[in-house]
Chains A and B, each alone.
Chain A
Amino acid sequence: QKEVEQNSGPLSVPEGAIASLNCTYSDRGSQSFFWYRQYSGKSPELIMFIYSNGDKEDGRFTAQLNKASQYVSLLIRDSQPSDSATYLCAVTHPGGYGNKLVFGAGTILRVKS
């Protein structure tokens, strides 16, 4: 079992719709959870982070965390064609030092105008 799992997609949504991206993780000791957006040929860009159970909203983005279910999600409201990218879920690895990030393989999102 991979440490961080995401559906590879592509997830296709029409412009203006809500895009829902999901991620599960295997290590219950993980404490911090991040969503990065990566455009083709570019580096990952941090868009959301969440540490506590529940929802966290920032503009059109909402991150949701359920530690009991080991599940984290990202909702994008009013999706725009510019949101088309790969979304990477990252979880801090509780072992060792420094809380290195363990990444999922990413979900490709396509927003159609």
Chain B
Amino acid sequence: GAGVSQSPSNKVTEKGKDVELRCDPISGHTALYWYRQSLGQGLEFLIYFQGNSAPDKSGLPSDRFSAERTGGSVSTLTIQRTQQEDSAVYLCASGQGSNQPQHFGDGTRLSIL
């Protein structure tokens, strides 16, 4: 497909488990961003990749959160020892460059029981 692809679309897991969320950006887009949107909260930035490097990780809420990007393409966001407050929709966006419009995927709805 031509858009940003995220998987899984929904994830339900127990508190304390680790989860991995995947993002496949639009082909050719060098910039990749992770955001999250909690119920009743706005969209908040988590991390930015340019190529495989992450020059801005300022939005990661704790050291339980990490992300990587390989081959300048697919990115994985990992949350270790999940907590209930991690429940949110995790959105990935990509862009042609750092100041270009960002296009969002459909998101992963994460629910921590």
Q: Name A's B-contacting residues (CB within 8 A).
A: 31-32, 34, 36, 42-46, 49, 88, 90, 92-93, 96-106
Contacts and interface: CB of A to CB of B under 8 A. Distances in A.
Contact of B43 (A88, A92, A96, A99): A88
B65 interface: no
Interface string B52-73: 0001101100000000000000
A100 B56 contact: yes
Given A43-B89, A90-B43, A101-B43, 20 more contacts: A43-B105, A43-B107, A44-B43, A45-B104, A46-B101, A49-B101, A88-B43, A93-B45, A96-B55, A96-B58, A97-B50, A98-B31, A98-B33, A98-B48, A98-B50, A99-B99, A101-B33, A101-B45, A103-B43, A106-B42
Contacts of A92: 99
B90 to A, nearest CB: 10
Contacts of A106: 42
Interface string B19-56: 00000000000010101000000111100101000011
Interface of B: 31, 33, 35, 42-45, 48, 50, 55-56, 58-59, 89, 91, 93, 98-99, 101-107
User: Most chain-A CB neighbours within 10 Å: which of B31, B42, B98?
Assistant: B42
A39 to B, nearest CB: 12
A36 to B, nearest CB: 8
